[in-house]
Structures are given as C-alpha cells and as structure tokens.
Structure 1
C-alpha cells in the first residue's frame, strides 16, 4: 500500500475544490464554472487512477484487496460514472450529490486506513482529519459572515432609500443589486464547504465508533445551519425571492451560525477539543 503523502492530499483537496465549482454551477448555471469543475474532477480521476495503479502493482503477487482498498476502488468508480454522466446525461445536480458521497467514501478510506500515514509526521491520521474538517467549517463560517454583513448593509441602505433619508454614508455603499448578488455568491461558496465539513465529521464519527455523537448538539445544529442556507438558495433560485426578504432570512441564518459556533461548543462532546490549549 502506498503511504499517504502529497498525492493523497492533492486528491482530497482537488476533489473538494471540484465540488465547490459544481455546486456553484448547480446554484447558478455557468458553463465556465462547470468546465473548471469538470476539469478538476478529471484531474482527480487521473490521480486516483495513478494511486490505484500503484496499489495494483503492489498486489501483483495477490489480487486480494483489503476493505480500505475496496472503498477506494468504489470511490474511483463513482468519479468515473459521474464523469460519464457529465458527458452523456448532463444532470449536474445528480453528479454533485454522487461526488459528495464519493468524497465521503474517499475520506473514510484514507483516514481509516492504518497503513496511510499523515503528511506531517508529528500528527496522527485523526489529527489531520479533524484539521481538514475544522478548516472547511471555519471557511464556510467566514463566507457566511461576509454574506451576513452584505445583507445587513442591504437592509440599512434599503431602509434609508425608502425613507429618503440621504447621508454621505450611502454614497460609499455598493448598490442594492451588487450587495444582493455578492451575498448570494458568498452563500454559494459557504454552503458546499459546510457540506464537505459535515461529511468529514461523519467520517470521523464512523472511525471513532461512538454513534451517540450523531446526536451531539454541535452536529444537530450544524445540520440546521446547512438547512437554513439551502432554504436561502431555494428561495433565491426556485421562488425567485430577492431583496429585503432574502436579506432578512440571510441574517436569521447567520444567527444560527453564531449559535452553532459559540453556544453549542459549550455543551458539545464532539468539539470540546477545540477549546483545549
């Protein structure tokens, strides 16, 4: 079995990046974004094929595969099928969800395999898994924070314009249209990051073996956060709701993020290690 190194990290991070582009295309159809996502996914397939080939070569005396290697082969097949579907059926939403599942399978394969060593030798595999999980979650929170600030500015400017209360501050703000669009883009970035962070959290719980952690307040509230922003995107894309109502919902969703980040950490068993010095 090939030891874990930059090849494995490249596969995971490029896979996650391709999913961000695919989600962006699903939320707001864009051929250029879709091509970038497909290109990254194709490169992931190439790296996976190389990794698989090296493992097959190491098993040249025996064709018996371990459970971990079987999971990797399964993930490789999911990427292969999704690339075929992109070419033939062009069902981007289905391709996205297939690859979210495939990403989770791949992460479970890498981080549960005792023969796969972390890139940093003073870490264990769980350290690296949690590092990636927390990094994705924090990046999603940052994107949601930017979106919330823009929505707050939108509501401020909207109220000022409606009341015809002109001030020098208003001239320094972007237009309502720009703030609404940028807030939407920030959510498009944050939502898939949080989804991937949750997928890795599920992998960590599966490796740890403590199924009760699925009912941990942090895990449950994170699902509410994701649901709130998915509903935001649904209102924007399907219900065609824009402007003040959508900005107000965005701020309400960010309140759930704040609760998730601060309050649930005080009672969470899953994330109590975050506060350890």
Structure 2
C-alpha cells in the first residue's frame, strides 16, 4: 500500500509539473517554470525512493518486469530533463520530453507483472481511472470559468456599445481583465483535458485491448480539444483579441456541454460521468 500511494503521488506531481511547463510554453512565465522544475525534482526524488523501496522489498534489482522497465525509462527521462534544464536551459525540450515521460509513467501503471499481485494491479488501475475522471472534471470546471468570463465580456461589450452606463457595468469589470481571465482558465483547462484523455485512452487500451474510437463520447472529447486548441492558437499565435474571440469561446463551451450531456446519453462506453 505504501508503494501504491507513493506511485499515485508521483503521477499527480508529474501531472502538475507537465501542466506548469505547458503554461510556461505558452506564456513564457519564469515563475511557473521554476515551480514546474521543483515539482519535477520532487518527482525524480520520489521515483528514486520508489526504486529503492521496491529493490529492498523483493531483494533484487527492480529491472525484471515490464512495469519496472517502463518505470526506470521514465526516471531516466526525468533525470536527463533536470540535467539539461540546469546546463542548457532548453525549456521547450524539457516540456516535450516530459510529455513522453508522463505517458510512459501512465502506461507503466497498467502493466505490472511478476511480483505484483492481481489485486494490487486492479487497485492501481482503479485509482488511475479515478485520476482520469478527476482531471477531466477539473478541466470542465476551468472551461466553465473561462466561459463565464467570456459571457461577462460579451455583456460588458454590449453595455459599452449601447452606452448603458451604471453600477452594473462597473461591477462586471473592464474588458481587458475579463479577456485575460478567460484566456487563463482556458490555458489551465486545455492541458488538463489532454492529459485526462491520454489517461483514458491508455486505460481503455490496457483494460479492454482496444480503444473505442467510434464511441460518441470519445469522438466529441477530441472535438472539444480541437476547438479549444483553435482558441489558444488564435489568442497566442494570431494575437486575436476582442468580441469575436469571446463569442468563439462561448461557442466552444457549448461544444463542451454537448460533449458532456448529449454524448454521455448515447455513449456505450462512458457510464461513470
């Protein structure tokens, strides 16, 4: 149970580190970059502790199973990332390498063999499934807040255009701040949903031997990712701002609602949320 808890902690901290590097990748935010680096350092340390504890438990080098091989592979990637980050400051490389490392860590939790009991394997799969659902729901929450700010932006825009001066207009806030917070919550929700989908795809592949790509919920989830990806592309790369982009974000949230309610009603695969 100690190793199981430690492994889940590593997964969660690794997720937060990847999220931080993604935000830095988009915003060039050095404060977030430093937080992501220290989270990655903690991940490295916990992976090393996990490796030693497993070696002591089974009285051998933990290199004999698929699970152990993938775990060591992920630890090596984290090690290289920390060294490269210190010597060369190649932040984008660190971000992309650790996406691969996180995927490998995710796969490894589904493939324990040899010394791991079937009961522990089932528990690991159940807990990672819970993380998948939790991460997806947190991303939904972030997208909802992003929608709320865009909706207020739309209201404020109409009030200013029609010169409806009053206390209500001042209580809503200025357009620049509303637009900024709408972007920030989308920036948080997007990588969380991507990671959640990765966890879900790997879980389905290991648990059922296939991924139900034709499932309406699965297809609509990727549509949501594409739509919000287009929003971030327009904001970050094209430097688009204003009323039109706020309307686009509101439309993206409507796509999210279709994904959550309509596709869930017709999905034969997603039965828990």
- TM-score under structure 1 length normalisation: 0.89
Q: Name the counterpart of 2:3.
A: 4
Is the 2:135–2:193 contact (alpha carbons within 8 Å) kept by the matching residues of 1? Answer: yes
Q: Name the counterpart of 1:224.
A: 223
Q: Name the counterpart of 2:38.
A: 39
Is the 1:41–1:79 contact (alpha carbons within 8 Å) kept by the matching residues of 2? Answer: yes
Q: Name the counterpart of 2:188.
A: 189
* Aligned ranges 1:1-277 → 2 under 5 Å: 4-58=3-57, 60-61=59-60, 65-113=64-112, 115=116, 124-274=123-273
How far apart, in 2, do the equivalents of 1:205 and 1:14 lie?
Answer: 23
Q: Please give the secondary structure, in 2, of the residue aligned with 1:35.
A: helix
Is the 1:118–1:128 contact (alpha carbons within 8 Å) kept by the matching residues of 2? Answer: no
1:135 Cα offset (Å): 0.5
How far apart, in 2, do the equivalents of 1:107 and 1:81 lie?
Answer: 19
Which deviates the most, 3-12 or 151-160? 3-12
Per-residue CA distance 1:102-147 (angstroms, 9 max, x = gap): 212112212332627899xxx8333212211110000000000000
1:231 Cα offset (Å): 1.5
Which deviates the most, 157-166 or 92-101? 92-101
Per-residue CA distance 1:149-180 (angstroms, 9 max, x = gap): 10010011012112212233112111111101
1:93 Cα offset (Å): 3.2
1:81 Cα offset (Å): 2.2
Q: Please give the secondary structure, in 1, of the residue aligned with 2:172.
A: coil
1:57 Cα offset (Å): 4.1
Flag structure 1 segments of 5+ consecutive residues without an equivalent: none
C-alpha distance 116-162 of structure 1, shift in aligned 2 (>3 A) = farther
How far apart, in 1, do the equivalents of 2:119 and 2:47 lie?
Answer: 18
How far apart, in 2, do the equivalents of 1:99 and 1:166 lie?
Answer: 50
How far apart, in 1, do the equivalents of 2:118 and 2:137 lie?
Answer: 25
Flag structure 2 segments of 5+ consecutive residues without an equivalent: none
Q: Please give the secondary structure, in 2, of the residue aligned with 1:172.
A: helix
Q: Please give the secondary structure, in 1, of the residue aligned with 2:238.
A: coil
**How many residue pairs are counted as aligned between the two chains?**
271
C-alpha distance 61-194 of structure 1, shift in aligned 2 (>3 A) = closer
C-alpha distance 168-40 of structure 1, shift in aligned 2 (>3 A) = same
- TM-score under structure 2 length normalisation: 0.91
How far apart, in 2, do the equivalents of 1:44 and 1:129 lie?
Answer: 17
C-alpha distance 110-63 of structure 1, shift in aligned 2 (>3 A) = closer
Q: Please give the secondary structure, in 2, of the residue aligned with 1:4.
A: helix
